[in-house]
Structure 1
Amino acid sequence: MTSVDGFTGDPPAVIVTSLDNAAVGVRLSDRQSFDDDAVHYVAEAWSPGLAARVDEVVAWIWDADLAAFLTELAADYRGWEGERTWKTHDGDLAVSAVFMPTGRVALTWTLRPWPDIAGGWTASVTSCPEAGEQMSSLAADVRHFFARESQ
C-alpha cells in the first residue's frame, strides 16, 4: 500500500507499507533539488527490530528513473520470469522486483549508504503490492514525489 504525504502544505513523501504487515515499510522524503542535474532525498526503511535511514540519496536526471521502473512493472501486471532490478547511480538505494504467483510483486528495497566504503551496512525490507493498480499507484506517487512542481 502506498500513500503520498504533502498535499496539505507538508513536503511531499512517499510511504510504502506491506499489505501483509504495516510494520514493514519504506519512506522517501525530504526531497531537495540543489541544481538542474539532481534531486537529493532521504530514504528510510523499517521493520520490527530494524530502522535504517540514508540521508542523501541522489537521483541524477541522467540516471534510470525509479518511477519509470515501477511503471514498467505495473504494465507487466500479468507477470514475468526472474528478477528485475533498479538502483541509483551511487548504489545507495536499490529495488528488486519478483512477480509472485499470487498476483503480487515482491519489491525488496535495499539501503546501502557509501557502498564502496569498507565497514558499511545494508538494510532491506520487502513490500508486496498487487501487480496492477497498486503498482500503477506507487509509480504515480513516486513520479509526483520527484516532480519539480511539487517542491
Structure 2
Amino acid sequence: MGDSGELIIGGRPGAASLTLTHDNADDYVTTIIATANDAGLNASIRVATSPGDGGLSAFLGELAENFRSWEGTRTWSSWGRELTASAAFRSRGHVAITWSLTRRFAEEEEWRAEVTTVIEAGAEMSALASEVAAFISAATDPA
C-alpha cells in the first residue's frame, strides 16, 4: 500500500497496475479514483461504492478462499459498472485479474481501458483483500 490515501495493485517493474486513490466519502457512499497504468496507458475514472457493502474486498476475499483453482472467470463490478474486475485462475497458483475502467453515457460506452495484474492465489490474494478493506475503511474514517 502506498500512502494512506492510495493503494497500488500489481505494479511490479514492467507490469501493469491499478491504483486506487481516496476521493470523497460520507456515511452512504465512498468515491475513489481508479487509475489503470501500463506501457503507454494511463486512464482514470471515479468509482462509487458503499463503505459497508464489502464489495471489492469481499470479492477478492472469496478468490483467496478458493486458492486451489476454479473454472471460468469470476467477475465483480462497481454500482455503475465504472470498474470491473474479471478473475481467471492461471497455472502455478496465480490469478489474472483484468481491471476494466468504463466511462458510460446514457447506457452506451464512451471509452474503456483495461489492464491485467497477476496475483498469487493464496496469501498474496488474502493480503490484497485485507488491504482493499483497510483502504475503503480509511476513506470513510479520516484520521
2:82 to 92, 98, 109: 92
* Rounded Cα–Cα distance in structure 1 between residues aligned with 2:49 and 2:44: 16
Structure 2 CA distance for aligned equivalents of residues 81 and 67 of structure 1: 21
Contact 2:5 2:21 in 1 (8 A): yes
For 1:47, the equivalent position in structure 2 comes to 38
In the alignment, structure 1 residue 5 sits paired with structure 2 residue 2? yes
Tell me the TM-score normalized by structure 2: 0.88
Which blocks of at least 5 consecutive residues in structure 2 are unaligned?
A: none
| Stretches of 4+ aligned residues off by more than 2 angstroms | 60-64, 114-119, 148-151
CA contact (8 A) 2:54 2:133 kept: no
Q: 1:46 to 1:132 in 2, by over 3 A?
A: same
From the two aligned structures, give the one with the greater strand fraction: 2
Check conservation: 1:92, 1:115, Cα contact below 8 A: no
C-alpha spacing 1:91/1:144, structure 2 compared with 1 (3 Å): same
- TM-score where L is the length of structure 1: 0.84
Equivalent of 1:37 in 25, 28, 31: 28
| Structure 1 stretches lacking a partner, 5+ long | none
C-alpha deviation, 1:37, in angstroms: 1.1
Summarize the Cα distance change of 1:75–1:94 in structure 2 as closer, same or farther, 3 Å threshold: same
Q: Secondary structure at the match of 2:92?
A: coil
Aligned residue among 71, 75, 82 for 1:81? 71
Going from structure 1 to structure 2, the CA distance change for 1:103 and 1:18 (only over 3 Å counts) comes to farther
RMSD, aligned α-carbons? 2.0
Partner of 1:17: 10
Between the aligned partners of 1:42 and 1:113, the Cα distance in structure 2 is 13
Aligned length: 141
Q: Which has the higher helix share?
A: 2
Give, in angstroms, the shift of residue 70 of structure 1: 0.1
Q: 2:100 aligns with which of 110, 132, 141?
A: 110
What is the CA distance between 1:137 and its match in structure 2? 0.9
The answer as to whether partners of 1:63 and 1:88 remain within 8 angstroms in 2 is no
1:113-149 Cα shifts (integer Å, max 9, x gaps): 2264546100000011100011011101100000033
SS in 2 for 1:123: strand
